[in-house]
Structure 1
Amino acid sequence: MASLRGLSRPARSLPLSQLPRQTYTACSIRCASSQAAKAEAEEDLQELETDSLLHAPPLSEEEKRQFRPWKRALDRQFMLPSGRYQYHPPKYNRGPLHPIQSPPSSDPVARDFVPGPFNFPRLKHTYQSTIAPDLMTLLYEHTPPGTPKNETPQRLRGWDGSSPYHKNRPLRGPRGGPNLPLLERDITFKNIPEIKEVTIASYVPEAVKDPEHLLAARTAMLALTGTLPTVTKTKHSIAQWGIKEGEKAGVKTTLIGNAAYEFLDRCIHLVFPKIKDWKGISATTGDGSGNLAWGFTPEELKLFPEIEVNYSMYPAKMLPGCRVFVKTTATSDRHARLLLQAMGVPFYGKV
């Protein structure tokens, strides 16, 4: 660079290929090591092209026959090591203190990178702009400073002490199941309920004797969700129904993110209004932890636009019904119903 600055302005405007070799060599040779480095650099620069390919003349037929890039690559003595210049994310995460950490999922190099999203569902936009602020405002409960907090009651059952073996034993679980339901938390700006995932499942017991029913159910589920559903198998044997354990008798798929909002948008604005004499969804639905569910009969499944447009493609009387499970981040069924009511899902009956 120092030698190029010393040139005159007309000389600097010329391309490097037209300059004599002596004009851009080193100004002074200080020692033998610098002379050897210069010679090695000139050898490395022999393979560089000084002119742009846009201004180069086209190759002749003889040059095309002699052009063999693979042979030139094999004849090259020094190759760049691929492992030094290519980054590969670790296959396993070995903890937060390990010196090698996986990149975030938003990085295209990451192993769990998923491109997108390429759209923004209307229902999700409505949730972020209107529903979430309204839920946070309407359910706000002001607590004056200094108010004592209500202690959570003991939900596990103790022992009556009728046996000496009851001493120092852990408390028993609740009646009716081994798991405790979630405690309802007050809605704040940190835990506004939202849709987490939607699972659509279809049980087809006729597929045990006729596999074509399973094919029709899987095709309908693929058209509804856009994802390839998985085949489910029976867990128990029921002699009255002729079902054995391990037989293929259903399909299911899970929608996450924008796909879940788009499916709910179609249910609320396209399918629910077309159902005749429909009261709505029972208000008693839910598992106690903020997850709600409802079902569609085969007649109601025909109302989806994906099924209606190609209804003649499905065999007669083979289109099954399905069950929709909506998983939310709410900690109670009451908050989950408030979320779906704000989105447009109708409920009926007393809780």
Structure 2
Amino acid sequence: MNILENYYKKVIRFDLINKFSYNNLGSIPELKKIILNFGCKSFEIKNIAASLLALELITTKQGTVTKSKRANILLKVRKGYPVGCVVILTKTKMYQFFFKLSTEVFPTLKDFKGLNVSKKLNNKSFSFTLVDLINFKELEKQFYLFTHLPPLNLILVTNTKTRKELVYLLTSFKMPFI
């Protein structure tokens, strides 16, 4: 069991029960999954392969290539062309990645004051973008392969019902908010 998973089960769940009222234990909010997504602007196979390799190194889980669902004349994309890659983390891999993100990546980011909780915050998920990906130790060793990576989109999916519950859950996990 990971440190964050244990912390959630022993501390955060009881804090949520004391702060909000729940009828049953199944309705207590929890972190369901983390989705990591690269959207590549150039459709060259070497850029998509580099971003897929970067995702696999960061998460230790094999990613999948996403393909376009419809054609777009302005972007010069045909239907079925690869446009990015995605990895969905659940259970222990999710908590391991979240721990690595909060202890290794956020403290080493340049000019990082915290994540902005905007008005676009959804009740069930929180998303943000990381531009500088060299802060991951796995990518730092072979930085020459990953110099032109697109920004990494991260989506934290929960089962909260209100915005207050979502913000409270993420701040209890020590997410650095402004």
TM-score normalised to the size of structure 2? 0.89
Q: 2:9 maps to what in 1? A: 128
Q: Aligned to 2:32, which of 188, 196, 199?
A: 196
- Answer yes or no: is 1:269 the counterpart of 2:103: yes
CA distance in 2, matches of 1:337, 1:259: 22
Indicate how the Cα distance of structure 1 residues 268 and 188 shifts in structure 2: closer, same or farther if over 3 A, else same.
farther
Asked if the contact 1:200/1:252 (under 8 Å) is kept, the reply is yes
Work out whether residues 341 and 347 of structure 1, in 8 Å CA contact, stay in contact via their aligned partners in 2.
Answer: yes
Question: What fraction of aligned residue pairs are identical, expressed as a percent?
Answer: 23
CA shift, 1:189, in A, is 5.9
Indicate conservation of the 8 Å contact 1:200/1:253, yes or no: yes
- Is 1:253 aligned with 2:93? no
- The question of 1:339 aligning with 2:169 is answered yes
- Map of 1:10 onto structure 2: none
Q: Give the equivalent residue in structure 2 for 1:215.
A: 49
1:237, 1:243 within 8 Å by CA — same for their partners in 2? yes
Give the root-mean-square deviation of aligned CA atoms. 1.8
CA distance in 2 between counterparts of 1:276 and 1:336 reads: 27
Deviation for aligned residue 1:278: 2.1
Any idea what the Cα deviations from partners look like across 1:38-58, whole Å, max 9, x if unmatched?
Answer: xxxxxxxxxxxxxxxxxxxxx
**Does the alignment pair 1:303 with 2:138?**
no
What is the aligned partner in structure 2 of residue 281 from structure 1? 115
Alignment of 1:67-82 (within 5 A): none
Distance in 2 (alpha carbons) for counterparts of 1:305 and 1:192 = 34
Query: Which of the two has higher C-alpha Rg?
Result: 1
Measure how far apart 1:192 and its partner are. 2.0
Question: 1: CA distance between counterparts of 2:138 and 2:67?
Answer: 26
Shift in Å, 1:245 = 2.5
Amino acid at match of 1:286: L
228-237 or 215-224, which moves further after superposition?
Answer: 228-237
The DSSP-based 3-state class of the residue aligned with 1:255 is: strand
Residues 1-24 of structure 1, C-alpha deviations (whole Å, 9 max, x = no match)? xxxxxxxxxxxxxxxxxxxxxxxx
Q: CA contact under 8 A between 1:204 and 1:249: conserved in structure 2?
A: yes
Separation (CA, whole Å) in 2 of partners of 1:344 and 1:188: 26
Unaligned runs of 5+ in 2: none
| Greater relative CO (CA pairs within 8 A, separation 6+) | 2
Which whole-Å CA distance do the structure 1 matches of 2:161 and 2:48 have between them?
Answer: 36
* AA at the equivalent of 1:130: V
- Give 1:304 deviation, angstroms: 1.2
Give the paired residue count.
176
Q: Kindly state the Cα deviation for residue 266 of structure 1 after the two structures are TM-superposed.
A: 1.0
1:221 CA drift (Å): 0.5
> 1:327 Cα deviation (Å)?
1.0
- Where is the strand percentage greater, Structure 1 or Structure 2? 2
Contact 1:292 1:333 in 2 (8 A): no
| Residue correspondence of structure 1 range 94-133 to structure 2 within 5 A | 120-133=1-14
SS of the residue corresponding to residue 336 of structure 1 reads helix
Distance change >3 Å, CA 259–CA 334, structure 1 → 2: same
Deviation at 1:240, TM superposition (A): 2.7
- Counterpart mapping for 1:75-94 below 5 A: none
The equivalent position to 2:155 in structure 1, one of 318, 325, 328, is 325
1:291–1:328 contact (8 Å) kept in structure 2: yes
* Other-structure match for 2:59: 225
In the TM superposition, residue 193 of structure 1 has moved relative to its aligned partner by 1.3
